[in-house]
Amino acid sequence: MPRTVLRSVARAGEAAYRVSGGRLRGPLSLQDFATSAVEITLDMRKAERELGYAPLMS
């Protein structure tokens, strides 16, 4: 889905939230939109080593 469409949905949801005094929430907030394109890489070696964590997926 184009980011412009997602941004519009997020803005409409934020506006509905403000106008309704917090009673209505859109499917996407501006915060959700802002973080949707953030890539995160996690290093789980410490959890595996110290806690014996075994991920369900490799």
Which pLDDT score, from 0 to 100, does residue 5 have? 93
Helix (H) or strand (E) holding 21: none
Structure tokens at 34: 């802002």
Q: In whole numbers, what is the pLDDT of the chain averaged over residues?
A: 90
pTM confidence score: 0.59
CB burial of 33-55 (b: ≥16 within 10 Å; e: otherwise) equals beeeeeeeeeeeeeeeeeeeeee
**Mean pLDDT value across residues 6-12:** 93
